[in-house]
C-alpha cells in the first residue's frame, strides 16, 4: 500500500476496547501494510489523531466513552480528517446506511475477513490521498 506521493507508510488508527480487535487487525494489516496505532477509547483516539497525520481510522461501533459518531465528529475538527471505517458484530444495512449518511467511509463485520479489511482500508487510503491532492476548497467540501 505504499504511495509514490507519500514515502511514509500508511498510518491506521484502530479504536476498540477489545484487545482481540487490535490483534486481528494487526494480523491482517501487519507491518508490511503500514503503521498501526491502537487506541482503546474515543479520548485516546482523539489524542493520537492530534499527534500526527492518520489517513484511516477503524473504529468499533461502541466504545467505553462514546461511540463511532463521537469519533467521526471529532475527526471533522482536524485539518486533514481521516476516513472512518466502523466495525461491529451486528453490522447490518441500518448501521451501514447510518455510517455512510453521516460521512463515514465503510462498515466492516466482525469477525474480520482479511480481504474485506484490506479492500476497505486500501480504498479509504486512496480516497484520502485523492482528497489531499485536491485544491483546498474541494477538500473542505469533501469533508462535509
Number of domains comprising the chain: 1
The CATH number of the domain holding residue 91 is 3.40.50.2300
- Specify if 2 maps to a domain: no
- Specify if 91 maps to a domain: yes
113-135: per-residue pLDDT in tens?
Answer: 999 999 999 999 999 999 888 87
pLDDT tier at 5 (50, 70, 90 boundaries)?
A: very low
CA 94 → CA 10, 91, 97, 138, distances in Å?
30, 8, 5, 29
State residue 141's pLDDT score. 58
* DSSP class per residue in 56-76: EEEEESEETTEEHHHHHHHHT
Instruction: Say what the pTM is.
Output: 0.86
- Specify if 3 maps to a domain: no
State residue 134's pLDDT score. 83
Amino acid at each position: 500500500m505504499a504511495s509514490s506521493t507519500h514515502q511514509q507508510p500508511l498510518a491506521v488508527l484502530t479504536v476498540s476496547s477489545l484487545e482481540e480487535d487490535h490483534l486481528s487487525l494487526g494480523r491482517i494489516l501487519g507491518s508490511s501494510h503500514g503503521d498501526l496505532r491502537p487506541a482503546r477509547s474515543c479520548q485516546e483516539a482523539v489524542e493520537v489523531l492530534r499527534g500526527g497525520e492518520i489517513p484511516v481510522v477503524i473504529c468499533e461501533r461502541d466504545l467505553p466513552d462514546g461511540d463511532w459518531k463521537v469519533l467521526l465528529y471529532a475527526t471533522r475538527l482536524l485539518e486533514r480528517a481521516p476516513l472512518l471505517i466502523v466495525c461491529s458484530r451486528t453490522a447490518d444495512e441500518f448501521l451501514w446506511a447510518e455510517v455512510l449518511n453521516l460521512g463515514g467511509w465503510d462498515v466492516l463485520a466482525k469477525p474480520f475477513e482479511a480481504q474485506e479489511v484490506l479492500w476497505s482500508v486500501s480504498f479509504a487510503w486512496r480516497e484520502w490521498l485523492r482528497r489531499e491532492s485536491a485544491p483546498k476548497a474541494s477538500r473542505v467540501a469533501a469533508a462535509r
